[in-house]
A = this chain, B = another copy of it.
Amino acid sequence: MTVTLAITSISLEMGFKALSDPLRLQIIDLLQEQELCVCDLCDRLQVRQSKLSFHLKTLKEAGLLRATQQGKWVYYSLNLPQFTVLEQYLADLRQLSPMRPPRVCSED
């Protein structure tokens, strides 16, 4: 296995893990409509700031979010190219899956 493949695999793992939590899916749902700052997300999701910060970090480290500071505020938005990486992995899986006949267990 090449280094490139390993890196790809890790970004898939991290991306999918980041998407495996209800609060994080809610964050994405909100950001899908528009860029928001942390205090907005706090208000809308009714969660503590430190909790939100933890989950935003998880999503950002997975490459799914981008953060830009504007004055005191930090605005988060979706990083769509990284979503596309995950989508492409799933699309490839589906399309390459040949539906070969199952092998028989005692074949070798």
Query: Bound complex: CA of A73 vs CA of B107, how far in Å?
Result: 13
Q: How many residues of A contact B (CB 8 A)?
A: 43
Which of chain B's residues have a CB closer than 8 A to the CB of A83? Answer: 90, 93-94
A30 to chain B, nearest CB (A): 11
Q: Tell me the residues in window 60-97 of chain A with beta carbons closer than 8 Å to chain B beta carbons.
A: 70, 73, 75, 77-78, 80, 83-84, 86-87, 90-91, 93-94, 96-97
Main secondary structure of the interface of A (DSSP, over half): helix
Number of copies: 2
**A25 contacts chain B at the CB level, 8 A cutoff:** yes
Closest chain B residue, CB of each to CB of A96: B32
* 16 cross-chain CB contacts under 8 A: A12-B25, A16-B16, A33-B98, A33-B100, A34-B102, A34-B103, A39-B105, A40-B105, A73-B105, A75-B102, A75-B105, A77-B102, A80-B93, A84-B94, A86-B90, A87-B87
